[in-house]
Structure 1
Amino acid sequence: MDTPFKLYFEENQRRIEIPCYTSMEQCVTEAPIQLLENRRLTCIFSGEGTVQFDCLEDTFTSGVHVLYQYEHNLAYPFLPGEQLGCVKIASETYYFRFIIQPRVSVAEHEQMMQEIEAFLKGYSTQHTQAFTHALPEQFFHILYQIQQHPIQQMAHIYELEEVERGGRINQRSQLYAMRHPQEQRQLVQKKKMNWNLPANQMLKIQLQNSLAIVSPYEATRIRQFLQQDWMQTVDVPSHYIHSNDGMYNPYYREISQILQNRMNQPIVRGTVQKSKSGAEIYEVWGYLKVIEYLKELGYTSRNAELTLKNNSKGDVTFDHDTQNYVELVKEDTVLRVFWEDALLRDARKVSPMQPLYTWHNHTPDCRIDFWHKGIYKGTHIIDFKYRHLEKRWTEQVAYSDPVDSMFKQLSAYALARSNSQQLNNVAEPLLDVAPVKQVWAVTPYTTTHQETIEGYPLQLHTLQPGSQNESFKCMLESIVQTM
């Protein structure tokens, strides 16, 4: 539709005009534009007013605004799925909607989340809050109907106004004038619409409580309803309210029933949140796959229960108070599989739980420490990279010294050192100099290039959702046997 401004996305070299609508109802019924996660992205706005994305704190005025450049190693600002935004011009608001597609296929993205859930459900008996079912679209249609026809009543209010400006003068007005002889204005009675009624107060409480149990996209749409001017006049009392007015109104009654059903749904443990980026989901999925494949080699777990934090990032967490690892055992061999555990910077602090130290870029996604009969034998490190790497890897092999930032990070892991005297009570200089046997960069995209970069034990491997990953499993088994 025609708007007094122009709004575009520029994704890589592709410029896409963003359609905007004056009503949220029309916005959510029209087909949204589609973007691909982790591509260069710029927002271009020309006109008066401000652009606001629901998931971003910053607002944008006229100009060119860079949202993402992967060269700067920043996080992509949008999560996979539907996103909302608006353009505000004076008293007018225009809404727009777009979909972020994951870098892997949608089916692979969903499969990773399902496999994470399945793994964690089988790993522990504890429970974590989960969002398993979407609110029906009818829910938001009802909210729109309430927005158009809320429960309201006319109220009589008194306001001070200049003399002879209208309004009803009655006994209360005259009494006020007698008590305030110096007042130059007069108290007049006026009629004003009142929405601060028990039915709306109950509705507001229910909607605010629902924000904790719905998806980010659903929460955004509910917040937009709560931000309406008339809803802002509704108080939230400190105690729960039951309103017969709301029960008699079919729209209010149905909203209450839908939310009550959602509240009563069973809590399921181990559900990966939809509010995670594709890269974060791939890292979690990859870590759990490594554990799964090690268990297929005959290792059994003897410690932590795994769960997912119920927060915005949704990290894997453990039942340990201070440690983040799974311990796998087979006969006299123990593997400790750490998740995002920072390497030390001080050789004097080396311990059985942190056998490595380095100087920078020191938090690998997955670290496997090998112990045999109580003796530390070395470490294998895996970093999960949610992007195409084969071309960069092929180019990097031509260099004897890593220059790319990613390769600097991986080489820092490879060059980590240890202190066998503190770990094994016997100095082993060869182990201390090279405790990290290999460092893998792992991608979900098919790659045939596994050549080790000269001078560094770095390799590129594929770990792909929906695949048997036989090559990856064979290489992992080889590492375990070698250690």
Structure 2
Amino acid sequence: MDIPSNLPFTVRFLAGRDGQSKPVNAFFTDESRLDNYPSPVQLRENSRLEVQFIADDDEARFYMDGLELLADKSVELDHTGTPYLEPSSRPYVLYTPSDEYYPYIPGFYRIKVVVQGQSYVTSIQIVPSRISVQQWEIMRDELEVEVRGLAQAIVRKNLSVGDSLEQYIPAEHLHRFLVIRQHFPTVMAALADLVEMVNYRIRTEYRLLPVERVKAIDEVTIRHRLTHPDYVDTLKAPVRDVDYNLPENQWIARIVSTVRTYLDDVIRSLDSYRDYIQSELNEQLLFAEDRRQTSGESAVIRGHRMVLRELDLFAEHARKMLHSVQLVTRSTWYESVRQTRPSYVPHVLLQDPRYRALYRMYRDLHADNVQVKLDPAFAYQWKRTDLLYELWGFLKLCTAFSDGLSFVPKRGWIYDSAQTASEELFVPVLMPDTFIVLEKEEVRVHLVYNATLPSRASQTNLEVTPMHMPGGFHNRPDARIDVFHRNVYCGSVMMDFKYRHKSWFWNPNPRPAKRPPATNQLISYSNDSKSSWLLGGYLPPSLREQMRPVIEVWGVYPRNTDYPTKDDVEYDNTHNVRLVNLSPGVDNEHFIAELAHVLDKVLDFAAKARNSNA
């Protein structure tokens, strides 16, 4: 029987503050049917959750994904170390909102009940509370994709790869060229040394030589003479020779041959692409001449000329490297080394720094692409959705500045890494106090994640923490944007990522006691902030202390795409609070536009202060 009609046990979940009963009645005895059957019970995340398991069999056991994270002493372990619950008339508490852990993020959770030797299986589904299941999955996936994308962008920046080359030249050719170029200085130093001092061994061979040319004899010579007395004028004498055909040298020959082939491919690709761009440029020049354009070259023509210059530089570098590598092939030992595929990696290849330099390049050349390794803390299992939304939102903030507003990341977080395409790029998790610096012309912004603001001016610092919160309350925004112009601190924007409906966290009632705590928190960010660094030398200290460095406060929240929505942005002039919708799986161009607007607002504020005190 697939779904028993009379179960010898009872399982029910008690959800929410009122303990709404959610009985689970659909179980399978055939576990293979479970994947094709929808979960009979759906429960919302972040709500109080209990489970009641009743059975007459005292040996009955209740298993469920996530029990291993519970601190409840009632959780037992079976002989395999798997946690389970025993039958009890009293419900077991799985989660309360005050718990530090959160074992049940959105997803499916398998349940197994064992009663009298028979197993019964089913599943329940935890669904998001503020967004759709699809949006939650998009947010989870986007977070990892965004992090990996940032890491790949760093690799391209470190290698100075232009978008034009990356777009038109085969990816494998470009990757190989960049790896060779990166390793080239150390590889050429190694090859220069190997040309003169390559490893070898003395090999002894026996040859029949005229007696007058024999320089040494040994046991083999004597034995041969005794067995061949008719050889009167010759002797089988030992001849010592230098043998370069060692495994490590076979590797060098193979690596050099591989590099020559790869550079030839790159040069052909560059030349082919150059011909294409040159033909496009010639057409544009003819068109411009026919139109008798005398107002200067068009942007298209200038762009083509710039690409041609870039191509010429890359091709020149590739030809120089090819020429340098070919010099090795003319050394006295190179021709005596067999061009065979080595069957193993000898220790010398890893121990001798000269050989190791070439082998590392060879190994990197045969890597499929850059390996981006995420910090294990990026594992999103068992992470509350509100924290997931906070991480996702901060990442969206970073990419909005870098991609949407064309700011260039300079340092902080993964931008402190000097790793390149030939290495495994490790991406650390976003920890509290993470600090990212981005620049665009004369403007510099500091993006700060989840950092505590000091309560006294003496604890502040222009570069790291240019403001303080005298009351010591509401001093840890999820994100902070510090804006500088010509190294002068112009003001800040604070953000909190609120994983809840707007009406649940924003109600600016005139009476603070009637407001939600989150509303007072956002208002406090704006009203209670101070800075002794604001506007630098533009203002006297006495006036500076009277001004608020936080120009705006943002409450960022998601919306469920399953339901209609109103405006994506709402602004409260009284408290300088901007409510901005930022949701997974939808167009968030308005978020970038609002960032551009508030950035101009901060810079205008600084300009007016400078002009009024000029």
Task: Give the structure 2 partner of residue 303 of structure 1.
Answer: 411
Matched ranges for 1:21-32 at <5 A: 30-32=37-39
Contact 1:339 1:365 in 2 (8 A): yes
SS at match of 1:6: strand
Residue ranges of structure 1 left out of the alignment (5+ in a row): 128-263, 308-313
Query: Are 2:188 and 1:81 aligned?
Result: no
1:354 paired with 2:465, answer yes
Residue of structure 2 equivalent to 1:207: none
- 2:581 corresponds in structure 1 to 462
Q: Distance in 2 between matches of 1:315 and 1:85?
A: 34
For each residue in 1:199-249, what CA deviation from the matched residue of structure 2 results, as whole angstroms up to 9, or x when unmatched? xxxxxxxxxxxxxxxxxxxxxxxxxxxxxxxxxxxxxxxxxxxxxxxxxxx
Q: 1:290 aligns with which of 394, 397, 415?
A: 397
* Change beyond 3 A, Cα 1:67–1:433: farther
Q: Which moved more, 1:446-455 or 1:77-86?
A: 446-455
Q: For 1:29 and 1:73, locate their aligned partners in 2 and report how far apart those are by CA, in whole Å.
A: 34
Q: Distance in 2 between matches of 1:112 and 1:279?
A: 11
Give the structure with the higher percent helix: 2
Q: Which runs of 5+ in 2 are unaligned?
A: 76-84, 156-367, 416-426, 560-564, 603-614
Q: What residue is the counterpart of 2:600 in the other structure?
A: 481
Give CA deviations for 1:260-290 in whole Å, capped at 9, x if unaligned.
xxxx999544595341333233222211211
Q: How many angstroms does 1:479 deviate by? A: 0.5
Structure 1 equivalent of residue 493 of structure 2: 380
Deviation at 1:370, TM superposition (A): 0.8
Partner residue in 2 for 1:390:
503
1:28–1:97 contact (8 Å) kept in structure 2: no
Q: Is the 8 A contact 1:417 1:432 kept in 2?
A: no
Alpha-carbon deviations, 1:34-69, whole Å to 9, x = none?
435435343241525675543231246432455456
Is the radius of gyration larger for structure 1 or structure 2?
A: 2
- Secondary structure of 1:62's counterpart equals strand
Separation in 2, partners of 1:479, 1:431: 22
Could you tell me how far 1:375 is from its partner in structure 2? 1.5
Kindly report which structure 2 residues correspond to 1:35-434, keeping only aligned pairs within 5 A, or say none: 35-38=42-45, 40-45=47-52, 47=54, 51=62, 53-55=64-66, 56-57=69-70, 58=72, 59=75, 61-65=88-92, 67-68=94-95, 76-86=102-112, 95-103=121-129, 104-125=131-152, 268-269=372-373, 273-275=379-381, 276-295=383-402, 296-306=404-414, 316-317=429-430, 324-351=434-461, 352-358=463-469, 359-390=472-503, 393=506, 396-401=507-512, 403-420=515-532, 424=536, 427=541, 429-430=543-544, 433-434=547-548
Q: TM-score, normalised by structure 2?
A: 0.47
Shift of 1:452: 4.8
- Structure 2 SS opposite 1:306: helix
Contact 2:109 2:125 in 1 (8 A): yes
Q: Whole-Å Cα distance in 2 between the matches of residues 470 and 413 of structure 1? A: 26
Deviation larger for 23-32 or 471-480? 23-32
Which residue does 2:556 correspond to in 1? 442
CA drift of 1:463 comes to: 0.8
Secondary structure at the counterpart of residue 406 of structure 2: coil
Q: CA RMSD in A?
A: 3.8
Change (3 A) 1:84 1:423: farther
Contact 2:505 2:519 in 1 (8 A): no
CA contact (8 A) 2:530 2:547 kept: yes
The 2-side partners of 1:290 and 1:282 are apart by: 12
Note closer, same or farther for the CA distance 1:338–1:391 as it changes in structure 2 (3 Å cut).
closer
- Tell me if structure 1 keeps the 8 A contact 2:44–2:127: yes
The AA in structure 2 aligned to 1:427 is: P
**Alpha-carbon shift at residue 380 of structure 1 (Å):** 0.5
**What one-letter code is carried by the residue in structure 2 that aligns with 1:479?**
V
Structure 1: distance between partners of 2:493 and 2:453: 13
Secondary structure of 2:530's aligned partner: coil
